[in-house]
Structure 1
Amino acid sequence: MNFIDTHSHLFSEEFTDDLPQVIERAKAAGISRIYMPNIDCSTIKPLLDTVSRFPGYCFPMLGLHPTSVNENFRDELSVMRKMLEEPNSFVAIGEVGMDLYWDKTFLQEQLEAFDTQIQWAAEYQLPLVIHSRDSFDEVLQVMKQNQDRVLKGIFHSFTGTLDEAEQLLQFDGFCLGINGVVTFKKSTLPEVLKRIPLERIVLETDSPYLTPAPNRGKRNESANLKDTLLKLAEIYQCTPDEVAEITTRNALKIFIS
């Protein structure tokens, strides 16, 4: 049984001491590929260094995370734009989007950065990995403004309502990224997902965050994706192999086809 972690920050400092072991555990668990979203200019080098250590297994994205958007965001975007113009190994634009959880100081800047990076995804024909926290309406607004562009990608870490899921899935080329949150005792996701086709779902960990049960409170890693997969098999009343096969096909359709 092989499946894909579509969102993991294995280049972060939390994995400095044991990354080779983390990768080995992921492979042993059945993880066949790991896609890694960037955060800002400071993380590009560790991201690419990690990819070079595990070629053909770890794949990099390029983007400016909304919580890293500040008064200097155009400078960061300029650096990334130049990297996209040169030969590179980036397989997606991500993670990008909106985050208004902490404050709305840079709301307008986040909107501009998000829109700019959507344009990159269309221009370079790369998938888009979208972060949204306390910003559903804003994300939806920007996406609708770009609905004439040819886009595909993932709405990362979906935890919303059925109505929100249905609105997001109106964008035909997109799937919902589901992670360890679905295993949390108070999560409402299981009931929502019963109404969402498995063909519109991809798996992710968001390592080192959002560790699924039964290991909540510990550092998350890609091997733990199996706990999320097993929960989805329970929700969809199918075998783990079926979840692995369908979600893998969904992920490859986004990142490769």
Structure 2
Amino acid sequence: MILTDTHTHLYSEAFDEDRDVMIHRALDKNINRFFIPAIDSTYVPAMYRLEEKYPDQIFLMMGLHPTNVQENYKDELEFIENEFKKRSFYAVGEIGIDLYWDKSTLAIQQEAFRYQIKLAKKYKLPIAIHCRAAFDEVFEILEEEKGNDLFGVFHCFTGDLEQAKRAISYNLKLGIGGVVTFKNGKIDQFLNQIPLEHIVLETDAPYLAPTPFRGKRNESAYLINIAEKLADIYAKPIEEIAKITTENSKYIFGV
């Protein structure tokens, strides 16, 4: 059985004290594919160090997180474009719109989102979308950009059934994480109406730890709890959940 964590910030400062031990806890549970989204240029050296240490398990993305779209966003986008000229990545991410923390940056978030979608199309890569309190705004841009060259993962999907179907219509897999285990998470109530072919697993570590670790630091080893919840929702063995969702990740990321 091979499980794939399609979205985990293993370079986060939250893991500075026990990163290797934490990664090996995941490896011991057959979680041995980690897709690593970027936040901004300040984290990139740590991402490269991680890749160098675990070359067979770590798959890097490159992008500017919407909450880090600030006054210097054009410099950040230039940095990203230069990194793509130097080497290859597996996705552009995480990108999108976040209006939970700051609505005042909407215009530049939209600009950065569009720019990075075009970058993904240029390099024929998937995107990893971050959406918080911004479904309408994200869908507006996806509608503009839709086509065979637009595909990827709707990371940390927390919407309703209709929003799930709409995300899928844009060639996006739904990234399902710890929220599916929450009593008030709601997505567990309709997820079995979405075929497994549209689902990938993720932790978003160190954030959004699943039950029974909710409120604590998340880590990739907890992907097993998410997979177990999906096994319950879909009434399938966990081995089948692992197989299908890992195949889906290979389809999206090409590896």
TM-score by length of structure 2 reads 0.98
Partner of 1:188: 186
Cα distance in 2 for residues equivalent to 1:214 and 1:129:
27
Q: Contact (CA 8 Å) 1:122, 1:149: kept in 2 or not?
A: no
Q: Tell me what 2:155 maps to.
A: 156
Give the match for residue 23 of structure 2: 23
Contact 1:40 1:76 in 2 (8 A): yes
The match for 1:250 is: 248
- Partner residue of 1:94? 93
Deviations 1:140-183 (A, max 9, x none): 010111113612210000011001111111113x2000001100
Q: Distance in 1 between matches of 2:61 and 2:213?
A: 27
Q: For 1:165 and 1:76, how far apart are their aligned partners in 2?
A: 31
- Matches of residues 40-189 of structure 1 in structure 2 within 5 Å? 40-86=40-86, 88-148=87-147, 150-172=149-171, 174-189=172-187
Q: State the one-letter code of the partner of 1:154.
A: V
Q: 1:206 corresponds to which residue? A: 204
Cα deviation digits, residues 88-110 of structure 1 (max 9, x gap): 14211000000000121111100
Q: CA deviation at 1:218?
A: 1.8
> What is residue 5 of structure 1 aligned with on the other side?
5
The alignment status of 1:223 with 2:190, answered yes or no, reads: no
Structure 1 counterpart SS, 2:184: coil
Contact residue 182 and residue 231 of structure 1 kept, 8 A:
yes
Aligned counterparts of 2:137 and 2:67: Cα–Cα separation in 1? 15
Distance 1:149 1:100 in 2: 28
CA-to-partner distance for each residue in 1:11-59, whole Å, 9 max, x for gaps? 0111111111111111111112000000001111111111111111111
Q: Is the 8 A contact 2:147 2:170 kept in 1?
A: no
Q: Deviations over 1:181-210 (max 9, x none)?
A: 100111211112021111100000000011
**Other structure's SS at 1:105 match:** helix
User: 3-state SS of the aligned residue for 1:251?
Assistant: helix
Three-state SS of the structure 1 residue aligned to 2:200 is strand
Q: Distance in 1 between matches of 2:145 and 2:221?
A: 36
- The letter of the residue matching 1:46 is A
Counterpart CA distance in 2 for 1:46 and 1:195 is 39
Deviation at 1:214, TM superposition (A): 1.2
Question: Are the structure 2 counterparts of residues 78 and 149 from structure 1 closer, same or farther at C-alpha, using a change threshold of 3 Å?
Answer: farther
Where 1:235 maps in the other structure, the secondary structure is helix
Segments of structure 2 that go 5 or more residues without pairing to the other structure are none
Total equivalences in the alignment: 255
Please give the TM-score of this superposition, normalised by the length of structure 1. Answer: 0.97
Cα contact 1:39–1:64 (8 A) shared by 2: yes
Where 1:29 maps in the other structure, the secondary structure is: coil
Over the matched positions of the two proteins, sequence identity in percent amounts to 46
SS at 2:28 equivalent: helix
Q: Is the Cα contact below 8 Å between 1:37 and 1:61 reproduced in 2?
A: yes
